[in-house]
């Protein structure tokens, strides 16, 4: 199966540079790391991480992982999907933390996502992917996203696009640095504390330290999307 990304599935009305920036940020959350099943650390029993004083419980993380594994098990390509996401626990935690950073940056910059914007974006994803089933299959394969988690991906992309536009970020080195600085500042403000079993959070790179690829370096390297029939 050819690889595909969601980079071209944004509403056509959004600026190309902002769209590429936001989608690259989202895709870069999938950096590789070992599969871990964690207990709580001494400071925060039962927590996978604490972000801005709010816990991400191990149980919540495990529930997200379980949803993905169940979706993978129902796929004809189950074995390949599971093998490709052996790092799923850390990937999902990375994503869950990053989403909280995105929400803070959005609040700080007066950015919101209306119900109409979310629906418009999801409709565009579905249409340009060739249908709901194909969208779900692509997200499961490429990002380890279960069908019930798609709305979260939609919201993340809407907010990222609007944040990029609000702060004036584009694909230039200056634009990338501007966006990095905004997210790094928010990440530091949240005082992110990760259970050591999952690694440590890197404020400068906006990711778990074990992840192999800094998020902004993906901006100009995102693979080209393929047609829905590929």
Identify the H or E element spanning 21.
helix 16-27
Per-residue model confidence as pLDDT tens digits over 159-176: 999 999 999 998 888 988
Q: What are phi and psi of 215, to 5 degrees?
A: -65, -40
Indicate whether 3 pLDDT > 50.
Answer: no
Query: How high is the pLDDT of residue 121?
Result: 96
Query: How high is the pLDDT of residue 42?
Result: 52
Query: How high is the pLDDT of residue 163?
Result: 96
* Model confidence band, residue 43 (pLDDT cutoffs 50, 70, 90): low
User: Is the Cα dihedral 9, 15, 20, 25 positive or negative?
Assistant: negative
**Are the beta carbons of 80 and 3 closer than 8 angstroms?**
no
Q: What whole-number percentage of the chain has pLDDT above 70?
A: 72
3-class secondary structure, 50: strand
User: In the predicted model, what is the mean pLDDT of residues 51-62?
Assistant: 96
User: In the predicted model, what is the mean pLDDT of residues 95-118?
Assistant: 97
């Amino acid at each position: 199966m050819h690889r595909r990304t969601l980079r071209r599935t944004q509403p056509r009305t959004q600026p190309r540079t902002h769209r590429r920036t936001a989608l690259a940020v989202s895709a870069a959350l999938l950096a590789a790391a070992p599969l871990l099943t964690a207990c709580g650390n001494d400071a925060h029993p039962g927590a996978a991480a604490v972000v801005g004083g709010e816990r991400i419980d191990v149980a919540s993380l495990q529930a997200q992982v379980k949803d993905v594994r169940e979706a993978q098990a129902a796929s004809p390509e189950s074995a390949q999907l599971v093998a490709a996401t052996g790092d799923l626990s850390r990937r999902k935690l990375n994503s869950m933390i990053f989403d909280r950073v995105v929400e803070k940056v959005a609040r700080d910059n007066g950015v919101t996502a209306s119900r109409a914007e979310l629906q418009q974006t999801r409709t565009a994803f579905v249409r340009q992917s060739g249908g709901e089933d194909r969208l779900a299959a692509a997200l499961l394969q490429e990002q380890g996203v279960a069908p019930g988690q798609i709305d979260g991906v939609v919201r993340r992309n809407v907010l990222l696009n609007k944040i990029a536009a609000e702060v004036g970020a584009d694909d230039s080195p200056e634009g990338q640095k501007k966006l990095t600085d905004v997210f790094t500042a928010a990440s530091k403000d949240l005082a992110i504390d990760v259970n050591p079993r999952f690694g440590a959070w890197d404020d400068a790179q906006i990711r778990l330290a074990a992840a192999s690829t800094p998020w902004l370096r993906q901006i100009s390297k995102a693979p080209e999307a393929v047609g829905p029939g590929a």
